[in-house]
Structure 1
Amino acid sequence: MNDIAAELNVDTTVYKALLESTKAIPWKIDWETLRFSYIGPQIESLLGWSQHSWASIDDWIERMHPEDRDRVVNFCVAQSKAGVDHEADYRALKADGSYVWIRDVVHVVRNDAGEVEALIGFMFDISERKKSEEKLLRLQRELEELSYQDGLTGVANRRLLDSSLEAEWASARRNGHPLSFIMLDIDCFKQYNDHYGHLAGDDCLRRIAHILGSSILRPRDLLARFGGEEFALVLPETDREAARGVAERCRAAISDAAIPHRASDISHLVTVSMGVATATPVSGTPASLIEQADRRLYRAKQAGRDRIVTE
């Protein structure tokens, strides 16, 4: 204790009163012996271990969460040897077996020859701060997920579609695999909204999205709302015939759902038109795949709707 006071050139009694009246836990380690020459009595109220049980650096190491131990010890030893002040966050073991988050702020003390003589520092309980940080990170992840999600149907939105298609295009080009893209349009959807109302139209979009999502069998395939009543499917490592099979499965599932559409020009049930495009990229951009699928979707609609065009 006197050594710390001397280091800071203050009266020992005043210094001790100041240190032991704070929630921060002061400590000092002799570098040559790696033993504690002092640790504040607050350590017992925080962790449950008595002040006198902190004899050496081994006690500090052993009372650290195993998952944090190597990272923190290696970092602190390296920084201390280099004579660099530092700080580290880790989970400290309490006497009751639970853990609290600690931040150790460390100052390296050198002698007149410039050699490391001691480490002095403070331990801070940052458990509440960590809880707040984790809550903030969780909220950020939720917001990020929402930013890639269509608000009405819950499937991927155009932003995620574009980024995923870009990544799959690059992967297909690198590996020489086919990539397929399906553009789907709900037939006569304006008439559906006019006849049943926009709330019913929104419900119809949600039902179609659910049906399409249930028709996708592989985790890597992506369903997205392209815009309005249009949906898109990205199918990595899928050739034309396999993509047509996916399209047929989606179309059949929508037909089986038998969603009434009395205002349709072609059926008394909701139907869809699809354009399917497949490429094994060697150059260009994924925009060409979208344009090709869109042209085939247009041809499907021009040919009477309720059909799939693949070439």
Structure 2
Amino acid sequence: MTPHASDSALYRTLLESTRAIPWKIDWATATFSYIGPQIEDLLGWAPTSWRTVQDWAERMHPDDRERVVNFCITQSQCGVDHEADYRALTARGDYVWIRDVVHVVRDLQGGVVALVGFMFDITERKQNEEKLLQLQQELEDLSFRDGLTGVANRRKFDAVLAREWQDARRNARPLSLLMFDVDFFKRYNDQYGHVEGDECLRRVARALERAAHRPQDCLARYGGEEFVLLLPGSDAPAARAVAQRCMQEISGAGIAHAGSPLGEQLTVSVGIGTIIPGAHDEPMPFLDEVDRRLYRAKHGGRNRIEDAALA
């Protein structure tokens, strides 16, 4: 064996002993001139079945194909080394995450002669990344949830209000807000204890959730025994109808309140506001006005709705 042949054999042995899968594509003919035998262990396709770049493209997940193929062709035409992640089809019919690391070989004039590179199995890494993203999403969801009732918390409400306010202003559409306060809740705690008081708030939240059934509506615990319900796209009559439905749901829940001067069952007071935000309107004055209406509902006898027109 000549020294050159010996070197080639050594290089091939080194390449084929790694977990990475080496390959080479002739640019002019778009054919594989070489692909490592490890490809069969990973994907189940024999090296001899990798003839053209079409075989490579067809063994790619349909959702990845156009993006990856266009990216690799563009980068290669420009003579730029690059990497691409995609899902490769196995002979068994499932998919494996691959990272292709590509080096562009050019002649003395700068023309592309060949592409050489390595395929790496990154399935485990992708799975770990997906688990991490899922965990991050779960943590974010928890950070926006009220720990007691499970509905959105004040932080989430503030974020949704800011977003919906801008959308209502941009599209000149109404935005309604309902504020609820559990009537005589201090007396409830004194009568039944704080453990039952917590359960009471959970039952109120569930009743309000049943009444606010649109996906775009945002129910949140505003603090203590107060809840808010944001109704994007709802005008004043629709908001009042929702408020009445909320009161009916709470009444239907049959939460006993022996300490209430209003009767034997728990009730709520409601303040309502509706606005189409103008260029100079801001959320805080609107919130303050709805809060004042809630105050009037409480001091006007409780178990009632206050929705007088905005001044």
Does TM, normalized by the shorter one, top 0.5?
A: yes
TM (norm. structure 2) is 0.93
Matches within 5 A, 1:81-120: 81-120=77-116
CA displacement, residues 73-127 of structure 1 (integer Å, 9 cap, x when unaligned): 1110110010000011111121222221111000111112222111110001111
The whole-number CA distance in structure 1 between the counterparts of 2:70 and 2:37 is 27
Secondary structure (helix, strand or coil) at the match of 2:103 reads: strand
Amino acid in the other structure paired with 2:43 = L
Taking a change above 3 Å as real, the CA distance of residues 54 and 242 of structure 1, as seen in their structure-2 partners, is: closer
The whole-number CA distance in structure 2 between the counterparts of 1:226 and 1:76 is 52
| Equivalence for 2:18 | 22
**Identity of paired residues, percent?**
61
| 2:56 is aligned with 1:77 | no
| Equivalence for 1:226 | 222
Matches within 5 A, 1:208-227: 208-227=204-223
The whole-number CA distance in structure 1 between the counterparts of 2:288 and 2:78 is 60
| Equivalence for 2:180 | 184
Deviation at 1:171, TM superposition (A): 2.2
Deviation at 1:240, TM superposition (A): 2.2
Unaligned runs of 5+ in 1: 1-5
CA contact (8 A) 1:85 1:108 kept: yes
CA contact (8 A) 1:300 1:306 kept: yes
Amino acid in the other structure paired with 1:253 = E
CA contact (8 A) 1:223 1:232 kept: yes
| 2:139 is aligned with 1:146 | no
CA contact (8 A) 1:181 1:289 kept: no
The whole-number CA distance in structure 2 between the counterparts of 1:58 and 1:167 is 46
When the two structures are aligned, how many residues end up with a matched partner? 303
Match of 1:289 among 282, 286, 289: 286
Match of 1:164 among 160, 172, 176: 160
Match of 2:300 among 297, 300, 303: 303
The whole-number CA distance in structure 2 between the counterparts of 1:252 and 1:176 is 31
CA displacement, residues 256-288 of structure 1 (integer Å, 9 cap, x when unaligned): 222111222433211111111122221221112
Secondary structure (helix, strand or coil) at the match of 1:223 reads: strand
Match of 1:241 among 234, 237, 248: 237
Amino acid in the other structure paired with 2:292 = R
The whole-number CA distance in structure 1 between the counterparts of 2:147 and 2:187 is 23
Which moved further from structure 2: 204-213 or 58-67? 58-67
| Equivalence for 1:3 | none
| 2:194 is aligned with 1:202 | no
Which moved further from structure 2: 147-156 or 115-124? 147-156
Secondary structure (helix, strand or coil) at the match of 1:89 reads: strand
The whole-number CA distance in structure 2 between the counterparts of 1:97 and 1:168 is 45
Secondary structure (helix, strand or coil) at the match of 2:14 reads: helix
The whole-number CA distance in structure 1 between the counterparts of 2:233 and 2:51 is 61
| Equivalence for 2:31 | 35
The whole-number CA distance in structure 1 between the counterparts of 2:33 and 2:238 is 73
Secondary structure (helix, strand or coil) at the match of 1:235 reads: strand
| 2:62 is aligned with 1:66 | yes
CA displacement, residues 165-191 of structure 1 (integer Å, 9 cap, x when unaligned): 122222222222222111100011122
CA contact (8 A) 1:276 1:309 kept: yes
